[in-house]
Structure 1
Amino acid sequence: MNKKITFVVLFFLSFLNVQADNFTSLLYTSTYTSINQKDCVTLDSDNMGSIQECESFVDIGVKVIEGDIRQSIVLTRHGEEYDLAFWSTVGSAFSSLGLKIEWRHELQQPKNVIGMIVRFEANDDYENIGKSSSYLLVSKITNEEMCVVAKVAPQERQNEMARKILDSKDELPCLRSIKKSEK
């Protein structure tokens, strides 16, 4: 009898947890913008790299920065710049970005942006330069700050995991810059 009650209680709690996750995912949706070089305007370019201005989303501007075979994003809003600094927060390996940004926002309320997700291809296997790993970088967007909060490793359901990080109501701390070890 006790085993049956325990099973029923555990089943019910599992059901509630799944329903809560489904409900949370119904509160948010995604809109996509391009960061493909052909869709962006070159603001500056030299032998060391370039700055491209890409499609904005609502009141958030997007610049793709490339230097030393590494790419990152700087977001702008109301004259302020928010450097996501991928090469110092998530990895210093040679890298490139995917072709689009996924913006997470409240359903039917694109002005209520909660974050963005972008693909980050990193050549992090130093013994095999031709091999890259495909991460998803998750950045939160609030009125006070915009910063990287997670790096989702390549795996099954990677996109869903990245969305779930943003869709949770958890306080998301910014990833700190990677500091070079002192000699």
Structure 2
Amino acid sequence: MTMRSMGLIFAVALGAGAAASARTGVDSVYTSLEGKACRKTIDDRTTGAFTLTCPGPGKFALQALDDDGRSSVNVVAPDRRVFALRYWDVVAQGFSSLGKTAEWRVSRVDGRMVPAALIVRVNATDQSDPEHPKRVALLAVAQIRENAACVVKTVAAGAAKANAQARAIADGPRLPCLGL
């Protein structure tokens, strides 16, 4: 194979990838799950449970929940409906914490930014062997629908191309909710 034909193949592949990306019209928007952008509410002074309400794209918001060393996220729609993602039931039942950033997969509809999925890193404790618990990092992929949002898959964050895999799941066909 000549250099010219290899260059042509590369150019065609690059163009096909760009066309596929443009065709889906899905982009990433990153928002913080900590800091000044979020408003903290103490839910239980005795246990220290709290909720951070953080802005998201398209008038959506996230509630980052922390209770007894376990973390989860709720998606808050513009009309204030709250969709509990229940990470502590479907992603990690042991101790967990959230990554610092949420990745929203969004498309534009009539000029408006509309979230279609959410990817959040969850640092969890795998307690399958109680004598030797170990830390694992997962990407929790949730699909956001008109009247619901739920976790549909988890991806091992340390896997090769984990972020690309999580985005493909987020942008792919509708999947059943975990834990239902």
- Partner Cα separation in structure 2 for residue 174 and residue 98 of structure 1: 22
**Is the CA contact 2:97–2:124 (under 8 Å) kept in the aligned structure 1?**
yes
- Partner Cα separation in structure 1 for residue 73 and residue 64 of structure 2: 5
Matches within 5 A, 1:128-147: 128-129=132-133, 131-147=134-150
Matches within 5 A, 1:28-67: 28-45=26-43, 46-48=45-47, 49-67=49-67
Q: Which amino acid aligns with 2:132?
A: N
Normalising by structure 1, report the TM-score.
Answer: 0.77
Alignment pair present for 1:158 and 2:162: yes
Unpaired segments of 5 or more residues in structure 1?
A: 1-14, 178-183
Q: Hey, what does 1:6 align to over in structure 2?
A: none
- Partner Cα separation in structure 2 for residue 42 and residue 140 of structure 1: 25
Post-superposition CA distance 1:71-104 (Å, at most 9, x none)? 0011111121100010111220100000010011
Pick the aligned partner of 1:113 from 108, 115, 119.
115
- Partner Cα separation in structure 2 for residue 149 and residue 110 of structure 1: 25
Number of residue pairs aligned between Structure 1 and Structure 2: 159
Post-superposition CA distance 1:116-175 (Å, at most 9, x none)? 10000001143334x31111000001212111111011301100000011122x121111
* Identity within the alignment, %: 29
- Partner Cα separation in structure 2 for residue 155 and residue 110 of structure 1: 34
Normalising by structure 2, report the TM-score.
Answer: 0.78
Q: Which amino acid aligns with 2:56?
A: S
**Is the CA contact 2:104–2:115 (under 8 Å) kept in the aligned structure 1?**
yes
CA RMSD, aligned part only? 2.4
Moved more, 69-78 or 25-34: 25-34
- Partner Cα separation in structure 2 for residue 124 and residue 65 of structure 1: 20
